[in-house]
Structure 1
Amino acid sequence: MRSIRYIVRASVIAGIYAALTYFLKPISYGPLQVRVSEALTLLPLIESSAVPGLFVGCFLANLLGGLGPWDVYGGSLITLVAAYLTSKMPNPFLGAIPPIILNALGVSYYLSLLYDMPYALTASYIALGELIAVGFLGIPMLLFIKRTGLRRYFDKAR
């Protein structure tokens, strides 16, 4: 029964990530982006199924995004590593570091090639977008979940 709950939770997180990314497509893709769904990248701090959920959600979102294999595989693997590292962090402020840094360094690499833009500029844009999504949206979201009765719905927040 526990594994079914785990899969369902991961699936819900994947679906929310993919839908939110695609619904906000104009600001979710490209070298200048604020992928609002990245606020969910702090969920591994309170929900273990968020690690595979974020990976699958990012994979689906990038598959729909149209930037090709670099984004589908590269971006999804970066999200997987960032989610795992976030799950090991002691608080949301440190937990925000892996998705911000890894996306700024990794995603920017292939986006700078795909869009023929300077790497440093692309990395700055992606870092800023991640800071907005993870720092200004994700941290308050996670703190809200932890301070309210919502925390009982997450496996690590008890």
Structure 2
Amino acid sequence: MAQGQSPARRVAIAGVVGALYVVLSLAVAPIAFGPIQFRVGEALKPLVIKYPVVIPAFGVGTVIINLFSPFAGALELVFMPLVDVSGGVLCYLVARRIGGALGTYLASLLYAVWTAAGVGVVLTVVAGLPYLIAFASVAVSEIILLLLGNALLVRRI
């Protein structure tokens, strides 16, 4: 994002990305929750690499989406937004540190694994699933979506 952009423009960009994240994720609501989940909006997460202003938008978007979750509670509404925001910060920092295509792909992979680890905790606590099974099942879709998002949105912008 250009250094000279106004605060209003940065807030608008974050708002649009956050809204798209919610809409794309809720569009597939039947498969957006549980051990096998596919939230299309997750493909937007690599945008944090080029637009760090959107990091909080994913936290807010996660709260909104998780209000519709059958598992809605403190873990879904507090813990998972924190996982998303911290994952976004890690993704941004790793991409900047490593640089280039390798950096963006590794950062996106890290964000996917970080998110899957958080969801694995939630599913273990609220649904009684074994952690590794919950983590692995979510990690598959997260990795696919974030690497695809990186290829389509970050590497092409």
Q: TM-score range by the shorter chain?
A: 0.7 to 0.9
Q: Aligned letter for 1:39?
A: A
User: Partner residue of 1:142?
Assistant: 153
Corresponding position of 2:117: 105
Q: Is the 8 A contact 1:13 1:57 kept in 2?
A: no
Counterpart residue number, 1:118 = 130
**What is the TM-score normalised by the length of structure 2?**
0.84
RMSD: 1.6
Match of 2:26 among 15, 22, 26: 22
Aligned residues of 1:21 and 1:37 also touching (Cα < 8 A): yes
Which residue number in structure 2 is paired with residue 82 of structure 1? 87
- Preserved contact between residue 109 and residue 119 of structure 1 (Cα < 8 Å): yes
Query: TM-score with structure 1 length normalisation?
Result: 0.84
CA distance in 2, matches of 1:48, 1:41: 10
Alignment of 1:64-79 (within 5 A): 64-69=68-73, 70-79=75-84
Does residue 129 of structure 2 align to residue 129 of structure 1?
A: no
The percentage of aligned residue pairs carrying the same residue is 25
- Structure 2: how far apart are the matches of 1:104 and 1:14? 20
Query: Size of the alignment, in residue pairs?
Result: 145
1:15-71 Cα offsets, whole Å, 9 max, x none, are: 001111111101211111122111111001111221112111112111233421211
Amino acid in the other structure paired with 2:69 = G
Which moved further from structure 2: 74-83 or 99-108? 99-108
Secondary structure of 2:52's partner?
A: coil
Are 1:22 and 1:65, in contact at CA under 8 Å, matched by a contact in 2? no
Task: Tell me if 1:52 matches 2:56.
Answer: yes
Unaligned runs of 5+ residues in structure 2 are none
Q: CA deviation at 1:114?
A: 1.6
Give the Cα separation in 1 of the matches to 2:104 and 2:91. 8
Query: Given the superposition, is the C-alpha separation of residues 143 and 13 from structure 1 closer, same or farther in structure 2, using an over 3 Å criterion?
Result: closer
* Structure-1 residue corresponding to 2:10: 6
Q: Could you tell me which runs of 5 or more consecutive residues in structure 1 were left unpaired when the two chains were aligned.
A: 147-158
